[in-house]
Chains A and B, each alone.
Chain A
Amino acid sequence: MDWTSALLLMMGLLCVFMAMGIPVAFAFFGVNIVGAFIFLGGEAGLNQLARNAMASITSFTLVPISLFLLMGEILFHTGVAFKAIDAIDRLISRVPGRLSLVALLGGTVFASLSGSTIANTAILGSVLIPDMLKRGYHPSIAIGPIMATGGIAMLIPPSALAVLLGSLANISIATLLIAAIIPGLLMSVLYIGYVVIRCHMNPDLAPAYDVRSLPLWERIRPFLIYVVPLFAIFFVVVGSIIYGLATPTESAALGCTASVLVVALYRELRIRDIIIAFRETTRVSVMILFIICASITFSQILAFSGATNGMLNVVNQFTLSPFVVLVVMLLVMLFLGAFMDQVSMLMITIPFFIPLAKAQGIDLPWLGVLMLLVMEVSFTTPPFGLLLYVMKGVAPAEISIQQIYRAALPFIILDLIAIVLLLFIPGLATWLPAIVIR
């Protein structure tokens, strides 16, 4: 079979299976069965599938996926995260869109403690949205910032998706984790600037209200008690990588230990909460790992059938500049992101993008951060953006999904601005790893 037929068969079947609503992992498994039979030698290929399933996820570099998620779930279910929001809430006063800023700052803090965008959005949404709506905040300025900042969790370390991308694309995970810090903070700054300017221009969006007047120390004290110590967890994770004390995988385990210690110091360590944290971690990490298990074989079959090379040769024939190739790759991801989840996007694009980027001489950590940014956008792009539905789940019933779509729009534009900035200023991603990684 020639490579175009192989590509059409594999990608076509995958699209059909996914469109039928088959769980993504099973869609990949289904295509693999057909692909292995045709391209890997019939019965022998099928026998190989089971062994491939084992080989694909017995990898130490994938361990942080579970552990980074666990960190966030521990802080979420023990209630420590909620106290931190309360502390940030007390710290901020008399600014336009006050509660939206609390959400953005809280979200950025949690992004440095959790690898789970879902947990972050759920925490902030459940705590802040009822209060925002009660105080007359327009849904667009109440909901939008929470979804946007929830997505930053996958940029600022610890980030489970960065680990997955680094591991599959063979990009240094430590470099990728550190490289995503500045773009993550940049996005947070863009969101804050937007909220302040928008609420300043149109105060009706977030009506000012009397914040209980507290002495300065009373406002700072909860922040020092409930937020500042949490940064210890961030420094354990990032610091141990930077100072060469631990690999990214080991830093994830240290982060979990640090999270449990911090929770214990707050006397919030309850067995029931920890069990729930493990249950939720298992739910998300198994979903991701099961997809990886199936899709790695998919990539191998694509390569073996000649489809990957054939596709690359076609792209190379166009003699496009690396920059144009990069932009096209990002546009493809943006398109896919409107319809599928981030793990599936990665699994479909990596087999083509990484060899293509290598052939074009594109800096892989830079590409990795750009891919993470695009995936961050896809969390909130209708109709499938995962955080849109997480928000629907935690917001009051009167908020319609259409209102949530509209609330996401300005922040999607801000995300695109950040992507363009990173495209033209690669140093935003490459500068920090170059100076801190030993």
Chain B
Amino acid sequence: MRTINRIYEKLLVVGLIVSASMVAFMAVAVSADVILRNLRWGNLPWVVEVSEYILFVSTFLAAPWVMNREGHTRVDVVIRLLPEKASRVVLAAGDVLVLAVCLFLLFYGIRTDWEAFRLNGTIYKQLVIPEWWLLSVIPVCGFLLTVEFVLRMLRRMGLDPEADAPGGRIQERD
């Protein structure tokens, strides 16, 4: 279990690094495009399109890391009002529902990506790129999120020695 946790943590960090690097590239590229254009030194016509793709890819690559760090916002007003035992049950039920959503992202992500690959779906804009390249981040995200919630459930059931690892609980705010 420890090895799986370690590998999983590393994959999350890789997702974060790739995602943050792409945002940095986007900031530099868009700035360069504006400056070049206003100096009448030409422009970078691919910048708009690449920035749009970066927004999508970076979001899906880093979403599992954000989940692992409890960064996805939730409305926990009702949970806080419940007795501890009841709130545990409701949170566990919530985790099962989220796991179902993650499995959906994984399954339908693979399916949609495979369809795009099989039918040679292509995006024709300034750049011409195969659609499956972009869609492939959805199953990757779905897979990592599925692992996250499986690990959370194991933690809840006391089957994970690293029970204090991040995630699996609403962090106390007060």
Residues of chain A whose beta carbon lies under 8 Å from any beta carbon of chain B: 17-26, 29-30, 33, 46-47, 49-51, 53-54, 57-60, 62-63, 66-67, 70, 240, 245-246, 249-250, 252-254, 256-257, 275, 278-279, 281-287, 289-291, 293, 339-341, 343-344, 383-384, 389, 392-393, 400-401
Contact = CB atoms under 8 A, between A and B. Distances in A.
A33 B101 contact: yes
25 contacts: A19-B77, A20-B97, A21-B79, A23-B73, A30-B97, A30-B98, A49-B108, A50-B113, A50-B138, A53-B138, A54-B56, A63-B52, A66-B23, A66-B26, A246-B38, A253-B30, A278-B23, A281-B23, A282-B65, A285-B23, A286-B71, A339-B77, A341-B73, A389-B174, A400-B174
Given A30-B101, A253-B31, 12 more contacts: A17-B97, A20-B97, A25-B63, A46-B104, A50-B138, A57-B59, A60-B52, A250-B34, A286-B66, A289-B55, A291-B73, A389-B173
Interface residues of B, number: 62
A30 B30 CA distance: 35
A54 B137 CA distance: 10
B11 interface: no
Contacts of A343: 73
Contacts, number: 194
Contacts of B100: 30
Contact of A67 (B27, B65, B80): B27
A405 to B, nearest CB: 10
B77 A384 contact: yes
Contacts of B146: none
Nearest to B71: A283
Contact of B75 (A24, A49, A245, A293): A24
B135 A58 contact: no
Interface stretch (B1-9, B88-96, B155-163): B88-96
B76 interface: yes
Interface in B46-77: 48, 51-53, 55-56, 58-59, 62-63, 65-67, 69, 71-77
A291 to B, nearest CB: 7
A339 B58 CA distance: 29
A47 B112 contact: yes
A58 B55 CA distance: 6
Contacts of A249: 30, 51
Nearest to A29: B101
B80 to A, nearest CB: 8
A290 B66 contact: yes
Interface of B: 16, 19-20, 23-24, 26-31, 33-35, 38, 48, 51-53, 55-56, 58-59, 62-63, 65-67, 69, 71-80, 87, 90-91, 93-94, 97-98, 100-101, 104-105, 108-109, 111-113, 115, 134-135, 138, 170, 173-174
A341 B72 CA distance: 11
B74 A21 contact: yes
Nearest to B53: A58
B148 to A, nearest CB: 11
A197 B8 CA distance: 56
A70 B93 contact: no
Given A278-B20, A287-B72, A23 B98 contact: yes
Contacts of B111: 47, 50
Q: Among the interface residues B23, B24, B35, which one has the most CB atoms of the partner chain A within 10 A? A: B23
Given A21-B94, A33-B104, A63 B72 contact: no
Contacts of B101: 26, 29-30, 33
B58 A22 contact: no
Contact of A254 (B34, B69, B173): B34
B62 A282 contact: yes
A278 B28 CA distance: 13
Q: Among the interface residues A50, A257, A293, which one has the most CB atoms of the partner chain B within 10 A? A: A50
Nearest to B139: A50
Contacts of A21: 74-76, 78-79, 87, 90-91, 94, 170
Nearest to A65: B55
B23 A253 contact: no
A392 B108 contact: no
B108 A50 contact: yes
A22 B173 contact: no
B1 to A, nearest CB: 24
Contact of B74 (A22, A278, A286, A289): A22
